[in-house]
Chain A
Amino acid sequence: MSNTDTSNNAPVSVVVVDDHPAILAGVEAWYAASRRPITVVAAGSSVGEAWTGPGSTADVVVLDLQLGEGGLAFGSLRRLVDAGRQVVVYSMRDDEKTALNCLDLGAATFLTKSEGREHLVEATLAAADERPYMPPALAGALGTNARADRPGLSVREENVLIEWFQSESKELVAQRLGISVRTVNSYLDRVRIKYANVGRPARTKASLVARAVQDGLVDVDDL
């Protein structure tokens, strides 16, 4: 159902930064059910968990943007990205501005909490492998992005983004457009790579692009 590279079965370590105990419990349960082993090596309500102890070497950081009473943790996200960490932003917020900002800062992906059950495991694995991942809420944000610095998308690419956002089902999108699920995925991946190639430079973005070229997801000429 997703663009998972099933060939890689190496275990993945994760640090979860979230101030809600119920969320932490839910996340651990989903990871436990994953076919490929995912271990939560540290969890807590402070970003400090990702910088010290076992959390500092985790493959993936799952970060809630809204910690405590403070504003959105964009600063923390930037510092983590600058340190070369793969960050999956996992937020209550469901607005395109936040999603676009996170992507621009270099987050691996942006997930809303209502998408967690369906997409958190796959998003985490994709982040660990430096592969692109596009959940529906993010697709909706990219499909309607009107910022001046947005990358140029084809009409088809925009359509796939919006329909994926609307239906949350790649099978339905494929059926509507008369293409295969695989093609739907390739459109989504291409868009994600285009976004990694614009805006604020970050090491995570560069590695995402490099990996995509290497896997043949995109042509260098496309970028």
Chain B
Amino acid sequence: MWTTVLPMRLGHYGANGAEAAGPTDGPGPGERLLIRTVERYGVWLRSTVVLLCSALGVLSADAADIPVALSLLVPALLACAVRLYSLHRPLPSASLWALDASAVVLTGLAQPVLGGAGADVMVEAILGISVITFQHEWATRPTAGFALAGLGAAGCALGDVLSSPGHTPEWAPLVRMLVEVSLSRAAYLIIRGRARRADRSGAARAASRREADVAAARRTTEREYLATLHDTASATLLMISQGDGHDWSWLPLRARRDLEALSAMPGFEAESIVDLAALLSCVPEDEGPARVQLKSHIEGPLAIPSGAGLAIFNGVREAVTNVARHSGVREAVLRAGADGNAVVVELSDTGRGFVPESVSARRRGLSGSVIGRMHAVGGSASVISSPGTGTRVLWRWRWNDRARTSRRSDAVPVPGLSGPGPGPLHAQLQNTAVVRFIRGQLLYGARLAALLISLVSQFSISSRQLMAHQDVYHPGWAQTVAFVSLAAITVTGAVHTLRGKQLSPRARGWSLGAVLAVSAVCAFTLPPERLTGPQDWAFGLIGWHALVLLADQPVRAFAAFLGAHIGLNAAAVFLLGAPTAAQLSAMGIATITTCGFQLSVGVLARLLQDMATAAATAAAREEELRTRERIQEEMQRDHKERYRALTATTVPLLVGLGHGALSPRDDEVRLRCGVEAARMRRLFAESDAVADPLLNELRACVEVAEHQGVTVSLAVRGRRGEVPVEVRRELVDPVAVILGRTHSTARVTVVWTPREVRVSVVGADRTDGRDTREAAHGRAAGSEVHVARTTRGGRVWVEAHWSRPAVTEVVPT
């Protein structure tokens, strides 16, 4: 009857558990590993027991019955073998279920064929273990597990009825089986709960780390993008706006290259190994008026990952440009070679030199293009110079630095770059906090499960045994005292476990001693021939209590305890009585099934804890994949956004210059280039860490204008506040535009009132009445910036103002 009721009830329970898991993307790495571990454990344990007991059964059977017994047991064994095979090569679950079902039914039918008390014990042992392990083998399909358990119980009852006809089947073993099945399922659910908890907290931690990694990757790409912009479009536009060239023949090619550099998605080149020597031999000696003759001493080949190679190559290019612009000489020496496992590159000139500390923070050639780039790939670059002694720029990149930097928080591996292999990752995680946390959770689960088993066994099965057989104990009170002591020890252990506390070694020692004492008392106050029989409530129980105490210890500690426990009972048997061979063999089998099973559970508890590293590794790998996906997505979005911002302004200019549609000799073109150059300078200034970013960005534009001979007065009034970056862009943009078109004097002011910030510029009105309101870099939709424009007598006055939010504290973007 219960075979039908139970699956439904417990099946419902299982369904609840599945719902509680919550996430729609299936079980986490910890839970998946748990499912696999318990399945393997279940199949192996059951197969071992079936094999051993079958062998013993056949050996003890009459010779005549052996062929029939073999014809029943061999298919059962084969079923187990197939099941073992299926652990490696998954088979359809319907056929697996059929195999498991046939194994228990055939074993049940073998009981009457083999005959005798021995066969009863064997078959009962096989079926008793099977119904328990089915709950683990079919952990994710509780209905299938319960149905198999039902079949096992039916097989058991059938065997009983067939082997002794006329006998009504006994209910006690069936009830016992029911309890065992429920405990087995409950133990699994408890541990699974812990595994899920570990997965959830791991996922939460991973999510926050992922955000940080993504942000770091975005920053790195942003830096690289700005450095590229600085070396390409910004430099070209600045040269045109200053009009300091007579021969512009190099310009179209350069403009087209700049355009390619801007549209290239950064960070998506597949990482490969390149020869830096070959790369460096293509460093251009700069074009047009600023040609620098390079004397190269390169000892190649120099193998280097492409990312680091490009960082050095781009840096050298920028440094050569700097020689042309600032050194006053037209010659530089480029050396490159290997130094141990490092690649070293040096560019030196004998020009006028400078004081590196005195370079303005807004001059980005060295800090961004040379040094910043090298930091982003985990290398280093340094500039050694002083007035009159020339300049040396040194790049250095080490092979073994890479593993370290790729895990560093702000230098995230570029997507496509091969991550650390399984070996190192596994080793790295060996004893990390994550692994300790997962292990702790699983250990806690194992403890709780052992506790549940000992409490339920003690207060359901054992207490009934003790009450029913009071008369056989001698003295009776000793057994009662032992029972109460065992209960007390368990309750103490339970309180400790539930509070999440570790047992002190001292308390553990005392408790184990007390459990052993109970074992001894029970062994010596029961008639020896009754040991392990229905009257012995303690023998099968002691092991569970010890497991609660020893779950976190190596398995050998638990095995030693079981050995001592068995030894005490054996001593009682041999000292107090003279057992027959049949009695001894029944006791032996009972010992093996009980203590062997307990030992196997101890092994499982250990396996679960060892699983923690694997679970953490799996989680870390999944996490890495997810992070890469996110980084790819974000970077693609950022890139599109950046390119969109340039399409209205810089891109048309470069296209026109690249195809000859716009001439650098045209004043209007030069003015537009000046405006774009100023806008880019403002963009570079955005990433500076300064107290007043608005003023810093304004100064970046003012510097470009001053460089072109404009006298700019900059005045600020009021108390500075926070302005989001996109608002700053719009506030500063008119200044970039007006200053780019002014050639004499200009006035720039910033006024902070409690309600608003007003940025104003007064400059020359060179529009001749034409409307030249130029498209700005990436105007934010729905922005609150209002621009007013007044012209009079050749002067133009443009003011951009933004109403500050009522709350004075605005989170800076």
Contacts and interface: CB of A to CB of B under 8 A. Distances in A.
Q: Do A and B bind each other?
A: yes
Contact of B753 (A162, A168, A172): A162
A172 B751 contact: no
A162 B758 contact: yes
A144 B751 contact: yes
Contacts of A169: 762, 792, 795, 797
A36 B515 CA distance: 116
B751 A140 contact: yes
A166 B789 CA distance: 13
Interface string B772-803: 00000000000000001010110101010000
Interface in B727-751: 747, 749, 751
Interface string A136-147: 010011011010
Given A141-B717, A144-B751, A166 B792 contact: no
B717 A144 contact: yes
Contacts of B652: none
A114 B745 CA distance: 13
* Chain B residues touching A, range: 20 to 34
Given A146-B754, A158-B753, A94 B762 contact: no
Contacts of B752: 144
A140 B792 contact: no
B788 A165 contact: no
A166 B790 contact: no
B753 A144 contact: yes
A172 B790 contact: yes
A49 interface: no
Indicate the member of B754, B760, B797 with the most A CB atoms within 10 Å.
B797
A86 B805 CA distance: 43
Contacts of B788: 176
B753 to A, nearest CB: 6
B204 interface: no
Residue of B751, B793, B799 most packed against chain A (CB within 10 A):
B751
A168 B717 contact: no
Interface string A22-47: 00000000000000000000000000
Interface in A182-197: none
A140 B753 CA distance: 10
B424 interface: no
B184 to A, nearest CB: 75
B710 to A, nearest CB: 16
A144 B760 CA distance: 15
| Most chain A CB within a 10 A radius of its CB, from B713, B718, B795 | B718
Interface string A71-82: 000000000000
B753 A166 contact: no
B88 interface: no
A101 interface: no
B98 interface: no
Nearest to A96: B717
B790 A94 contact: no
A165 B748 CA distance: 10
A94 to B, nearest CB: 6
A176 B790 contact: yes
Given A168-B747, A172-B797, 11 more contacts: A140-B715, A146-B718, A162-B758, A165-B715, A166-B758, A166-B760, A166-B762, A169-B797, A172-B762, A172-B792, A175-B792
Sort A-B residue pairs by CB-CB distance and give the 5 closest, nearest first. Answer: A144-B718, A166-B760, A140-B717, A144-B717, A176-B790
